[in-house]
């Protein structure tokens, strides 16, 4: 499932590619992907320009000049492609938006959604999300204070979107590995020094992942050299049984509340 770095990569690239351009046509293949009938959906979008691409947690917000916002959550398996009708991918798209001579394809939204909302509805919809981990206002002290009220497993807290927005399966494991702490640790056992390490590891891992375009495999458009650059830089995620890049011992794969969890039992504690 795309996480903060993947959605931030989409945000940056779409901000460059489509802001200021006008939606000239829409097509809805799967009505359940949107939150209204296709006709009013098309009527509101047709002729409106994109003014800003924003992100909140794992959500992408495509702002329009008519004060509406397209709220996108890709969930598991969703991804975007921006291209022409000639270079489109051989994949079914649930929604397409024509923008001049290019089309923005929304693929894999069987579980995800693209909802058209007003600014007020957006605020209400996202009001229960936790803080952004890379926000300047999210300090080590705030992180420590939030952890002090938790009694469960570290990974479970890190992927809780109501507690902290944007981190999922991949980056929770990568952050814990970077900090040298097992993701299966119970939060009350963490020392103040370990909490500080976790905070700085969270900053370092997410910023590195953003720098390299996250782990999405499909480029957003032809010539996109950014998307997916972090895929080969994961230290533990999806590397079960492979040698640890830090100590050489085998990376362990386990399950935690039906989630896969990857870690090194030798250099994480």
Which of the four pLDDT bands, split at 50, 70 and 90, describes residue 1?
A: confident
The predicted model scores a pTM of: 0.95
pLDDT tens sequence across 24-60: 999 999 999 999 999 999 999 999 999 999 999 999 9
Which position has the token pair 């900090």? 179
Question: Phi then psi for 203, rounded to 5 degrees?
Answer: -65, -45
Which of the four pLDDT bands, split at 50, 70 and 90, describes residue 149?
A: confident
pLDDT in the model for residue 214 = 97
CA distances to 5, 201, 204, 245, 261 from 133, rounded to whole Å, are 11, 11, 11, 26, 21
pLDDT tens sequence across 198-254: 999 999 999 999 999 999 999 999 999 999 999 999 999 999 999 999 999 999 999
Structural domains in the chain, CATH included, are 4-126 (3.20.190.10), 140-263 (1.10.8.50)
Question: Catalytic residue positions?
Answer: 2-3, 58, 259
pLDDT in the model for residue 100 = 87
């Amino acid at each position: 499932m795309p996480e903060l770095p993947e959605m931030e990569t989409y945000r940056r690239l779409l901000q460059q590619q489509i802001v200021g351009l006008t939606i000239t046509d829409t097509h809805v293949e799967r009505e359940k992907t949107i939150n209204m009938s296709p006709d009013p959906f098309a009527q509101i979008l047709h002729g409106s320009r994109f003014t800003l691409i924003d992100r909140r947690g794992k959500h992408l917000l495509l702002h329009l000049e008519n004060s509406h916002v397209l709220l996108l959550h890709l969930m598991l398996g969703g991804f975007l492609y921006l291209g022409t009708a000639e270079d489109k991918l051989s994949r079914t798209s649930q929604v397409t938006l024509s923008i001049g001579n290019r089309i923005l394809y929304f693929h894999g939204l069987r579980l995800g959604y693209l909802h058209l909302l007003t600014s007020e509805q957006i605020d209400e919809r996202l009001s229960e999300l936790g803080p952004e981990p890379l926000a300047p206002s999210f300090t080590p002290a705030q992180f420590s204070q939030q952890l002090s009220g938790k009694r469960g497993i570290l990974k479970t807290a890190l992927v809780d979107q109501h507690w902290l927005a944007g981190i999922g399966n991949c980056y929770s494991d990568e952050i814990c590995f970077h900090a040298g702490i097992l993701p299966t640790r119970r939060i009350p056992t963490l020392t103040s020094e370990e909490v500080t390490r976790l905070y700085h590891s969270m900053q370092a891992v997410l910023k590195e992942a953003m720098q390299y375009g996250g782990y999405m495999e499909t480029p957003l458009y032809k010539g996109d050299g950014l998307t997916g650059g972090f895929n080969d830089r994961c230290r533990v995620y999806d590397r079960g049984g492979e040698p640890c890049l830090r100590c050489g011992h085998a990376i362990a794969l386990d399950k935690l509340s039906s989630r896969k969890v990857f870690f090194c039992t030798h250099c994480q504690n």
